[in-house]
Amino acid sequence: MSSAVIETVSITEFATTTRNWKDSEGHDHASEEPRPATGSILTVTDSDGVSGTCLFAGDYLRPNVMEEFIRPLLIGRDPIRREAIWHDLYLAQRGAYGVLHDRALSFVDQALWDYAGHRFGQPTWKLLGGYRDRVPAYASTMCGDDVPGGLGSPEDYAAFAVKLVERGFTAVKLHTWMPPVSFAPDAKLDIRACAAVREAVGPDIKLMLDSYHWYNRSDALYLAKELEKLDYLWMEEPMDEYSMSSYKWLADQTSTLIAGPESVEGKFRSRAEWAASGSVDILRVGVLSAGGITPALKVCALADAFGMDCELHGSGMASIAALGAAHNARWYETSLLHPHIDYDVPPPHLQRVPDAIDRDGFVIFPDEPGLGQAIDFEYVAANTTGVR
């Protein structure tokens, strides 16, 4: 049997708009008006002309990474031999000192999974085993702010949560206030917001908290104990996640489920240590931070082996694909929501909202080949700022 091989690998950058702006610590907030933004598409095309793409925000794949690592390790290879390609990229990371980051590995892995879907005429989530065809989404709020009608007070969170529940969501995750918001961090204020939301939505809605990430052990334990009373489903990242011992200390003292880690490097290797040591109750992984769908599913398998759920961090169609495979990943995290933005309106470079939430709070998985990213290639062509 002859195999197609990867012939070209390219990045298309295009101008688009976003309703998000980032503060000095990197948190997303809502913008009143659309703001200019850069989008990128990594495209892998084989010798038969079949392509796979990965859409991502920003310009994270720099020309030097493409030239030094991505093209040399991809061109001429069989595009369905993802494990071989991924492993070579992984080995190359050691000498690349952060330039060949886990996101780069993820973009490649996503494009290869999208390719496989197009090559075989199947949605990627099905190719991955198709455990489910829909998943409940939780509304993940932006961090708190001090904007009128925004997320400036416990009452604002409560009002927004009611709107989200009316929209169909059965679960809401609060991101509370973080610097540079002037009055943050404040663990007591976080709990006031959590209490206001519980009071507003009633006992049947699932609630989660992701707060300031650099609380000390004392504040983290305070949050966890208060959330026990408020019946929150889980709490994540109240402390620096490189202190695994702090998380074990915390998890041992509260019945609030602790989920993590999100931010630590090390992919499945670091997460094995978290699982085996009982430092969390729910293991977390992201398709971006772990280096792709392939390694994220290995973390899901790791968690499953320990009887643990695995929480998939972050929105996007690659998360949907992984949720199609892993039975112990139970929720889809939406993009970060804010009262000022209508998330049923797609950004200009998409044909539609690919991860739309139905009226029951579910994402119905796409019924088309590949990841189902819903890229508007005509818009992209008309707004391309560079191909390299």
> Which residue has 């889809």 as its token pair?
332
Q: How far is CA 250 from CA 12, 89, 206, 223, 258, in A?
A: 45, 36, 22, 10, 8
Tokens of 21: 């702006």
Residue nearer to its own copies on the CB measure, 14 or 113 = 113
Contact call for residues 333 and 137 (beta carbons, < 8 A): yes
Tokens of 212: 């300031």
Residue nearer to its own copies on the CB measure, 164 or 363 = 363
Q: Give the nearest distance from C-beta 250 to its own copies in angstroms.
A: 20
Q: How far is CA 243 from CA 240, 251, 273, 283, in A?
A: 6, 13, 12, 15
Q: Does 332 bind its own copies (CB under 8 A)?
A: no
Round to whole Å and give the CA distance between 377 and 388. 17
Residue from 128, 257, 329, 336 binding its own copies (CB under 8 A): 128
Residue from 284, 298, 338, 349 binding its own copies (CB under 8 A): 298
Q: Does 130 bind its own copies (CB under 8 A)?
A: yes
Residue nearer to its own copies on the CB measure, 34 or 121 = 121
Q: Give the nearest distance from C-beta 305 to its own copies in angstroms.
A: 4
Round to whole Å and give the CA distance between 319 and 257. 22
Round to whole Å and give the CA distance between 362 and 331. 9
Site string for its own copies, 215-254 (x = CB under 8 A): ----------------------------------------
Tokens of 337: 């929501």
Q: Does 306 bind its own copies (CB under 8 A)?
A: yes
Q: Does 265 bind its own copies (CB under 8 A)?
A: no
Torsion of CA 336, 316, 345, 381, to 10 degrees: 130
Residue from 22, 35, 327, 388 binding its own copies (CB under 8 A): 327
Contact call for residues 208 and 174 (beta carbons, < 8 A): yes
β-pair type (134-141, 258-260): unpaired
Round to whole Å and give the CA distance between 202 and 137. 18
Residue nearer to its own copies on the CB measure, 130 or 150 = 130
Q: Give the nearest distance from C-beta 7 to its own copies in angstroms.
A: 18
Q: Does 47 bind its own copies (CB under 8 A)?
A: no
Residue from 127, 178, 320, 350 binding its own copies (CB under 8 A): 127
User: Where do the DSSP E strands lie in the chain?
Assistant: 6-22, 28-46, 51-57, 134-141, 171-175, 206-210, 234-236, 258-260, 282-286, 310-313, 332-337, 362-364, 384-387
Residue from 5, 368, 383, 384 binding its own copies (CB under 8 A): 368
Residue from 22, 63, 216, 305 binding its own copies (CB under 8 A): 305
Q: Does 369 bind its own copies (CB under 8 A)?
A: yes
DSSP string, 295-364: HHHHHHHHHHHTT--EEEES-SHHHHHHHHH-TT---EEEEEE-TT--TTSPPTTBSS-TT-B-TTSEEE
Residue from 61, 299, 318, 357 binding its own copies (CB under 8 A): 299
Q: Does 272 bind its own copies (CB under 8 A)?
A: yes
Strand partners, 22: 28
Site string for its own copies, 142-161 (x = CB under 8 A): --------------------
Q: Does 269 bind its own copies (CB under 8 A)?
A: yes
> Which residue has 């992209």 as its token pair?
380
Residue from 19, 126, 173, 349 binding its own copies (CB under 8 A): 126
β-pair type (234-236, 206-210): parallel
Residue nearer to its own copies on the CB measure, 202 or 307 = 307
Q: Does 352 bind its own copies (CB under 8 A)?
A: no
Q: Give the nearest distance from C-beta 139 to its own copies in angstroms.
A: 27
Q: Does 120 bind its own copies (CB under 8 A)?
A: yes
* Site residues (vs its own copies, CB under 8 A): 1, 3, 78, 80-84, 86-87, 119-123, 126-132, 268-269, 271-272, 275-276, 294, 297-299, 301-302, 304-307, 324-327, 367-369
